[in-house]
């Protein structure tokens, strides 16, 4: 099943692993932020499969298209995951601040919502590893 490199396999694995992380966030958010509304919970649930799909799709590029420098999966996937969570933090800054403040307290060292960027990079790394391991990478993933 996983023998031949395939872009669809990469995307499916990325979305599946992202769904697992999204479900964990969906289920655990009420423990961290009891007054979390359904919109933020559903947003987290749907965000991580999207992150996984984007990491999967970008597995086609093994070098930067303009700079022509190599971009292995362990470099590319965390940057994509971190960037996507960086954008998410901008859109939901107040909610992310509330979650981290409830987890670490107001004087906590980790209550800055931009810690979600590191979380995205780590999740991107996990998704990138699994997508590359089971779906391959590079131009040979695209059937011509």
CA 128 to chain centroid, in Å, comes to 9
Q: DSSP alpha helices (H): ranges in the chain?
A: 7-32, 38-57, 73-91, 93-104, 115-135
Residue 131 has a pLDDT of 92
CA of residue 75 relative to chain centroid, distance: 14
Reading the block at residue 22, the tokens are 């999204």
Query: What is the structure's pLDDT at 125?
Result: 97
User: What's the predicted TM-score (pTM) here?
Assistant: 0.88
Q: What pLDDT is stored for residue 78 in this prediction? A: 96
Each residue's pLDDT, cut to its tens digit, for the chain (144 residues) gives 556 778 888 999 999 999 999 999 999 988 888 888 898 889 999 999 999 999 999 988 888 878 888 989 999 999 999 999 999 999 888 888 888 888 887 887 788 888 899 999 999 999 999 999 998 887 777 764
> Residue 70 pairs with which residues in a beta bridge?
63
- pLDDT by residue (tens digit) across 127-137? 999 999 998 88
**Longest pairwise C-alpha distance within the chain:** 56
| CA–CA gap between residue 17 and residue 46 (Å, rounded) | 12
Query: Is residue 100 within 8 Å of residue 113, measured between CB atoms?
Result: yes
């Amino acid at each position: 099943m996983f023998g031949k490199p395939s872009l669809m396999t990469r995307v499916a694995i990325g979305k599946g692993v992202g769904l697992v992380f999204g479900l964990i966030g969906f289920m655990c958010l009420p423990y961290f932020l009891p007054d979390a509304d359904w919109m933020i919970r559903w947003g987290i649930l749907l965000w991580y499969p999207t992150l996984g799909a984007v990491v999967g799709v970008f597995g086609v590029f093994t070098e930067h298209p303009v700079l022509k420098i190599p971009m292995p999966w362990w470099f590319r996937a965390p940057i994509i995951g971190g960037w996507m969570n960086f954008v998410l933090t901008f859109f939901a800054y107040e909610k992310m601040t509330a979650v981290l403040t409830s987890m670490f307290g107001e004087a906590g060292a980790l209550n800055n919502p931009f810690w979600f960027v590191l979380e995205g990079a780590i999740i991107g790394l996990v998704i990138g590893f699994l997508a590359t391991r089971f779906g391959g990478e590079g131009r040979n993933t695209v059937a011509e």
